[in-house]
Chain A
Amino acid sequence: MKKIVLLLLLFLFIFSGGCWDRRELNEHAIILGAGVDRRADGACELTLQLARPGAFGGGMEGGGAGNVILGQDVVWVVSAAGEDIYDAQRDLARQVSRHLYWSHNALLVFGEGLARQGVREATNFFHRHPQSRETMWVMVAEGTAKNVLQSHSELEKTSAQAIGFLARAKAGHAVKFIDLIKDLASPGANPALTRLELVKQGEPQGPGTEKKYEHKEVVFTGTAVFRDDKLAGWLDKQETRGLLWLRGEMKKGVVTVPSPVEPQKKISFDITRSKTKVEPFYDGGTISFLVKITTEGNLVEQQSKEDLLAPGVLPELEKRLAEDIEERCRAALEKAQGEYGTDVFRFGEAFHRKYKKEWRELKNRWDEEFAGAEISVTARVRIRNTGLLTRRASLKR
């Protein structure tokens, strides 16, 4: 009896081997970046940047522009249109020989056209899909998302990777998918996403590139500002700095101001840490906010001649830097309050925290209230270090 059972088990093991959902690595098409556009006829266009694992091999030059030298493309960009995103993805399944695999997707790009009509519908697929991650970066392309994904990076293996590194390095205002969702769901905030643009950037040099060609690299050029889920407009690089200060997300960055003594010469300050405190005030009629920014950092470049060791010079400089920060914040506020009428700074949430009863009435027309709010920004800067020099060394004294 026991032997029969054993035999039966053995039989089972041999013939029922494997699992239902097994899928080998080489059956996957790994998605590195995804883009969604709205076509003129209303259809959704999904563009995917797929990894070509064969071309990733090598590693003889340790990454870099291997794809150019070897004549091997590292990625394959495909796109298809459908009634919604999943429909488009099904359509892609007819073109791509492998099973589309979302887990490694690190980038979601919305085309400008889609963003103007609203991104809310376009988020659901990515949130519902078990493979897709909430930690991917979400950005808006100037023009179409397809264009951005079709570009390539000179330094990194793919443009999606390059964008990911830029975002991680806090080169601009970068937002993860989950933050977009939170801002969409919150009545006291509006989303602001990175703006991507293709810019002609440098010339590739070296023995492999005798044949010069036009190269356009993806660059962060500011911020896309939303009102609810619709793109309202853009913030340029300077205003984006203001946005970061006001959101309290300024982690790295440089502030350059004219020297107090010689206005045509500049002094630069590198931020190491920063804190933003937003306090709302409401007297039943007018809403006002007091924003306090405290920043620490180092002096990194000084073109002017003043002696930093002299008393009063550093505090004066700190004051100038603070004024510059306030100026940038005001520029961002002006655009958001005046031109676009949208609270992308999450001030509504700060208001909600302090005035929970009043919030219930105000939250449905918060953006209008925000546009009329009085907001004053005060910054305080502390210079902690000045690099390896104290005063300038190259001056004849």
Chain B
Amino acid sequence: MLAQVVLATAVLTAPSLPIAYAGQDAWLCILLAGVGGLLIACLMVNLSRRFPGETLFEYLEDILGKIPGKIVSFLYLWFFLHIVTVVVREFGALLNPIFLPETPLVVIHILALAPVAYMLWQGLEVMARTNEIFASLLLFGVILVILAAPQIKLTNFLPVLDAGPVPLLKGTLAPLAWFGELITVAVFLPYFNRPRDGYRIAGLAVCMITFMLGLAVFLTIAVFGPYVPASYLFPTFNAVRLIQLANFVERLEILVVVIWVAGGLLKIGAFYWIIVLGAAQTLGLRTYRPLILPVGVIILALSFIFHRNNLEMVRYIGLTWPFYGLTHELLLPLLLFGTALLRGKRRKKK
């Protein structure tokens, strides 16, 4: 589930950015980002385990006190809202120009949000179970890479470390910010069946993400080489389009869309859920259900206001998001962690 939170959208768009900076060494970026992601995830799990049974939004108040805690909570809510609008917009960015060119974007966004809202109404368990089914679709991804084997040229990866360390680090930032989305573990943890397994699950999620993102980057470079993919909106999608086997196994990109739609819905669901839950907890509501509709409308509206066109979205993901994201994903948690340590706060034992 956690893995899906990051993967869903990243897997299609991921390769562009690191390849733009690091060329054929982009796969190293993903590995580096994976290490960073593991650190972020462990940090959050450690923090959360000091406050068993509480979500991020609840223990923020424990750490910082009531008013500052609420302010930071709102910061996070705003941040998650940003994420979810990007996801919604990306969702539309693939479906709209390629498959439904004349359908208004807003309709696609509504169609994405409506089932998710229904899922949230039914509760977290429904979402988790849906995820179990959808996650199996990721297997398709592995199969697709195998099918693309004839197009793969391993020499595309040579020479290693061509660009030098600086572009490599630049290329690492954006994927690192995606891995940073794992801070959501701080919200999910209290709802795990066995919250004790936090580390194991977070670690597993990081491994899965690294593997799948690595696979996407591998496929893209192996097929296109280091120069072309940086211009693609969805490099993985384009790579799968090239699959041609025995003159009849071709045009498999629809499988990618299946994965994309399933994953996109879940990712939207996860962040949507975090927002309504967080808002309810911050505002002291007993249930988040009354918030589903208004938040949905807000997401819909913001997805247009924040990203007026797809290039604005791409620029945002490439230039703004790494810094904006990492502030919330690394800096703030570190500060929180420090404060919690200093003030020796733990949840009072019952």
Alpha-carbon separation in the docked complex, A135 to B148 (Å): 13
Whether, in the assembled complex, B97 has its beta carbon less than 8 Å from a beta carbon of chain A, the answer is yes
Tell me the minimal C-beta distance from A122 to chain B in angstroms.
Answer: 17
Contact B98 A130, beta carbon cutoff 8 Å: yes
Q: Which residues of A, 1-31, contact B by the 8 Å Cβ criterion?
A: 19-21
Q: Which of A181-189, A232-240, A378-386 contacts B (4 or more CB under 8 A)?
A: A181-189
With contacts A182-B225, A186-B227 taken as known, whether A20 is within 8 angstroms of B241 at the C-beta atoms is no
Q: Which residues of B, 92-123, contact A by the 8 Å Cβ criterion?
A: 97-104, 107
Q: Which of A70-78, A206-214, A297-305, A352-360 contacts B (4 or more CB under 8 A)?
A: A352-360
Total interface residues in chain A, CB < 8 Å: 18
Contact residue among A133, A182, A185, A353 (Cβ-Cβ distance under 8 Å from B159): A353
Contact A353 B241, beta carbon cutoff 8 Å: no
Alpha-carbon separation in the docked complex, A18 to B308 (Å): 28
Determine the chain A residues whose CB is within 8 A of the CB of B224 once the complex forms: 178, 182
Chain A 178-222 interface 0/1 with B at a Cβ cutoff of 8 Å (1 = within): 100110011000000000000000000000000000000000000
Determine the chain B residues whose CB is within 8 A of the CB of A356 once the complex forms: 159, 161-162
Contact residue among A20, A353, A354 (Cβ-Cβ distance under 8 Å from B102): A20
Tell me the minimal C-beta distance from A186 to chain B in angstroms.
Answer: 6
Contact A185 B227, beta carbon cutoff 8 Å: yes
Contact B101 A181, beta carbon cutoff 8 Å: no
Name 4 extra pairs, CB < 8 A, besides A353-B159, A356-B162: A21-B103, A134-B238, A352-B159, A352-B162
Determine the chain A residues whose CB is within 8 A of the CB of B147 once the complex forms: none
Q: Which residue of B lies closest to A352 (CB)?
A: B159
Chain A 336-372 interface 0/1 with B at a Cβ cutoff of 8 Å (1 = within): 0000000000000100111010000000000000000
Contact residue among B101, B102, B241 (Cβ-Cβ distance under 8 Å from A133): B241
Contact A134 B101, beta carbon cutoff 8 Å: no
Contact B244 A354, beta carbon cutoff 8 Å: no
Q: What are 9 A-to-B residue pairs whose CB atoms are below 8 Å?
A: A21-B99, A21-B103, A130-B97, A130-B98, A134-B242, A135-B244, A185-B228, A353-B155, A356-B161
Contact residue among B158, B238, B242 (Cβ-Cβ distance under 8 Å from A353): B158
Contact A135 B101, beta carbon cutoff 8 Å: no
Most A CB atoms within 10 A — which of B102, B227, B242, B247?
B227
Contact A182 B228, beta carbon cutoff 8 Å: yes
Determine the chain B residues whose CB is within 8 A of the CB of A349 once the complex forms: 155
Alpha-carbon separation in the docked complex, A20 to B101 (Å): 9
Determine the chain A residues whose CB is within 8 A of the CB of B225 once the complex forms: 182, 185-186
Determine the chain A residues whose CB is within 8 A of the CB of B161 once the complex forms: 356
Interface residues of A: mostly helix, strand, loop or mixed? helix
Tell me the minimal C-beta distance from A293 to chain B in angstroms.
Answer: 17
Most B CB atoms within 10 A — which of A19, A182, A352, A354?
A182
Determine the chain B residues whose CB is within 8 A of the CB of A135 once the complex forms: 241-242, 244, 250
Q: Which residues of B, 230-263, contact A by the 8 Å Cβ criterion?
A: 238, 241-242, 244, 247, 250
Contact B228 A354, beta carbon cutoff 8 Å: no
For the complex of A and B, the 10 pairs showing the least CB-CB separation, nearest first, are: A185-B227, A20-B103, A353-B158, A130-B98, A356-B159, A21-B100, A356-B162, A21-B102, A185-B228, A353-B159
Determine the chain B residues whose CB is within 8 A of the CB of A21 once the complex forms: 99-103
Contact B228 A181, beta carbon cutoff 8 Å: yes
Alpha-carbon separation in the docked complex, A21 to B225 (Å): 34
Contact residue among B102, B159, B242 (Cβ-Cβ distance under 8 Å from A178): B242
Contact B241 A134, beta carbon cutoff 8 Å: yes
Chain A 19-54 interface 0/1 with B at a Cβ cutoff of 8 Å (1 = within): 111000000000000000000000000000000000
Alpha-carbon separation in the docked complex, A353 to B101 (Å): 42
Tell me the minimal C-beta distance from B234 to chain A in angstroms.
Answer: 10
Alpha-carbon separation in the docked complex, A48 to B250 (Å): 23
With contacts A134-B238, A134-B241, A135-B241 taken as known, whether A182 is within 8 angstroms of B107 at the C-beta atoms is no
Contact A182 B238, beta carbon cutoff 8 Å: no
With contacts A353-B155, A353-B159 taken as known, whether A20 is within 8 angstroms of B227 at the C-beta atoms is no
Alpha-carbon separation in the docked complex, A349 to B101 (Å): 39
Q: Which residue of B lies closest to A130 (CB)?
A: B98
Contact residue among A133, A134, A182, A354 (Cβ-Cβ distance under 8 Å from B227): A182
Tell me the minimal C-beta distance from B279 to chain A in angstroms.
Answer: 29
Alpha-carbon separation in the docked complex, A182 to B98 (Å): 23
Determine the chain A residues whose CB is within 8 A of the CB of B241 once the complex forms: 133-135
Alpha-carbon separation in the docked complex, A21 to B98 (Å): 11
Contact B159 A354, beta carbon cutoff 8 Å: yes
Tell me the minimal C-beta distance from A248 to chain B in angstroms.
Answer: 10
Contact residue among B107, B228, B244, B247 (Cβ-Cβ distance under 8 Å from A20): B107
Alpha-carbon separation in the docked complex, A356 to B227 (Å): 15
Alpha-carbon separation in the docked complex, A186 to B153 (Å): 15
Alpha-carbon separation in the docked complex, A98 to B250 (Å): 26
Chain B 57-88 interface 0/1 with A at a Cβ cutoff of 8 Å (1 = within): 00000000000000000000000000000000
Determine the chain B residues whose CB is within 8 A of the CB of A168 once the complex forms: 247
